[in-house]
Amino acid sequence: MSAAPKHDVYQAIADSSRREILILLAKDDASIKEICEHFSISRTAIVKHLNVLSEASLVSDRKVGRSKIYSLQPEQLAEVREWVSYFEQFWDNKLSMLRHMVEENVKE
């Protein structure tokens, strides 16, 4: 569907600032300036984090006037979800059993 991401999604979500940015964007699209207002670090640092998220295809952006608006694009998180779910059988409980059963049935 798209070029191989330079930064993989695991690396992208390894940083807590980047995870916070994703949570922010889940609530609403935001410009760089708006995102910066939620953090104490410099704009340059935020932009770097946004670039990492962008390379991992976790966000998209569009230019509007002099603003650059970022949107959440969470599809790549599915890879993480699937990787983690492999391990659920080892720490398990009724809930994850049910989830596994449901997913297996749906896939068929």
Strands (E), the chain: 30-31, 59-64, 67-72
Query: Cβ(18)–Cβ(49) under 8 Å?
Result: yes
Name which position in 45, 64, 97, 98 contacts a second copy (CB under 8 A).
98
Rounded to whole angstroms, the Cα distance separating 45 from 63 reads 20
Residue list 29-88, contact with DNA (CB under 7 A): 31-33, 36, 40-45, 47-49, 52, 63-68
Per-residue contact string for residues 7-46; x = within reach of a second copy by CB under 8 A:
-x-xx-xxxx--x--xx--x--------------------
Query: Cβ(18)–Cβ(8) under 8 Å?
Result: no
Query: Cβ(38)–Cβ(20) under 8 Å?
Result: yes
Q: How far is the CB of 73 from DNA (least distance, A)?
A: 17
Of 9 and 49, which has the nearer Cβ to DNA?
A: 49
Contacts with DNA by CB under 7 A lie at 7, 11, 14-15, 17, 31-33, 36, 40-45, 47-49, 52, 63-68
